[in-house]
Amino acid sequence: MRVAYYNHTSAVSGAEINLMVTAKHYTKAHPIIFAPEGELLDRARKDWFEVVPLPSYNARLSRNPFRLAAGAAGMVRAGYQLAKAAAEQKADVIHANSLRAGMMASLFYWRHRIPVVWHLHDIPPKGLIGKTIRLYASLAAQSVIAISEPVMRDYKKLGNRVHLVHNGTVLSEYTEKEKAYSREKIRTELNTPQEGRVMTIIGQIAPWKRQADAIRALHALLEEGKESYLWIVGEPKFREENERYLEELHLLAEQLKVEKYVRFTGFREDIDEVCCAADLLLLCSENEPFGRVIIEAMAQGTPVVATSGGGVSEIIQHGQSGMLYATGNILELVHRIKAIEGDKQLYKQISMNSMDRIKEHFSIEQAAAKTEQIYRQAINGVLGKAEELRQSKGVAK
Ligand code: UDP
Ligand code: GLC
């Protein structure tokens, strides 16, 4: 089974990391990664994936009608190139790794006749735009994968063509000794005391990820005399607004006089080790559709305190495999941090439960196997329809 795994951008965030980790764990499908040149294809080549570079186009929507038209034309052109390349590669199925990629891949179904699986990583837009896209999906997508319930909700009408597949991750590969080594190494590198309490928040720097709330929580803990450190890991991507937000975060840390306790690390490749080195992972996002970092931290046994919106509560069972709090409620966030940090027994229990939860429900093997099954179903569906058509023509003759 040859899979054209199509990503419309080459920037790497959770959806792209999920793509690469899942594709590495297929046992039946052979993935070929189609994307514009850039970070994603560079990483894919390093991991020995077969890749097909596609022309890039400006993916930003604009209010300027000329730019909008140019953007739309670019999308159509890229969709056409994908259709051509997927057919040349004799793909059995196209796995489109975003709503936009799905729309582009399905546009040329009449030409390539390859079933398209749309993989939705974001909570879909509401209103007329949302309705139009849903109608298009119901007419054009052979299958839809949603990463969590809120992402799937509006698509339930597609019946057995819509599937919930949570991201999966690799279980911890580290022994306790190796974890202790990572802890020592990274704490030294980040100039953080070996025995200090360390919280980390990992992900793109963006207003909706609300890293400012983590800084405010740190401030509250320090005011209470609880010496703590915060590692803000990640970089601004995609928009200028995110660059500005990073500056605002630096300013906030200065204003609250906590800059001595905050480390801005930029983008790091060693997230598993960072999780081993920290005591807690915080996720402060507004409506996080899923949150790969949560499962990555839990896989290492690092307890997570996260906002309860979006798909997060499908991962964390409050009080057992982590803690949840209401978005923006700093008092509650601080209360949850203290509850875990202040009770060694509870900390250990949550750490162990987190690893068990990942093993049982979020392993990469499960996610890869479910995805391969969806490919099979999409292919069989199209073959079945073609056969029906052939027979009905035969009968008509
Ligand atoms: N990540 C990383 N280095 C960083 C920051 C983030 O490798 O410095 C990875 C992280 O391990 C996770 C992904 O980026 O796999 C972020 O995914 P998530 O779903 O949490 O958030 P997204 O950015 O996709 O909304
Ligand atoms: C998107 C979502 C994030 C999710 C990731 C992987 O980037 O924002 O919540 O974890 O995709 O599915």
Q: Does the structure show a pLDDT above 60 at 159?
A: yes
Q: Which of 343, 282, 269, 271 is nearest to 316 (CA)?
A: 282
Q: Does the structure show a pLDDT above 60 at 395?
A: no
Q: How far is the CA of 59 from the centre of ligand 2 (A)?
A: 18
Residue 74: band (very low, low, confident or very high) from pLDDT cuts 50, 70, 90 = confident
Q: Which atom of ligand 1 is nearest to the CA of 285?
A: 25
Q: Is the CB of 15 under 6 A from ligand 2?
A: yes
Q: Which atom of ligand 1 is nearest to the CA of 271?
A: 11
Q: Is the CB of 292 under 6 A from ligand 2?
A: yes
Kind of pairing, strands 197-202 and 162-164? unpaired
Q: Which of 289, 199, 211 is nearest to 251 (CA)?
A: 211
Q: Does the structure show a pLDDT above 60 at 161?
A: yes
Domain with CATH 3.40.50.2000 in the chain: 2-168+364-396, 176-361
Residue 62: band (very low, low, confident or very high) from pLDDT cuts 50, 70, 90 = low
Is 185 buried (19+), middle (13-18) or exposed (0-12) by CB count in 10 A?
middle
pLDDT for the residue numbered 59: 63
Q: How far is the CA of 293 from the centre of ligand 2 (A)?
A: 9
Q: Does the structure show a pLDDT above 60 at 363?
A: yes
Please tell me the CATH code under which domain 2-168+364-396 is placed: 3.40.50.2000
Residue 332: band (very low, low, confident or very high) from pLDDT cuts 50, 70, 90 = very high
Q: Which of 286, 295, 284, 268 is nearest to 362 (CA)?
A: 295
The CATH H-level superfamily of 176-361 is: Glycogen Phosphorylase B; (3.40.50.2000)
pLDDT for the residue numbered 189: 97
Q: Does the structure show a pLDDT above 60 at 166?
A: yes
pLDDT, one tens digit per residue, over 118-138 is 999 999 888 888 899 999 999
Name residues contacting ligand 1 (CB within 6 A).
13-15, 17, 202-204, 233-234, 267-268, 271, 290-293, 296
DSSP string spanning 161-220?
GEEE----BPPP---HHHHHHHHHHHHHHTT--TTSEEEEEES---GGG-HHHHHHHHHH
pLDDT for the residue numbered 94: 97
Q: How far is the CA of 18 from the centre of ligand 1 (A)?
A: 10
- 142 C-beta neighbours (distance < 10 Å), count: 22
Is 69 buried (19+), middle (13-18) or exposed (0-12) by CB count in 10 A?
exposed
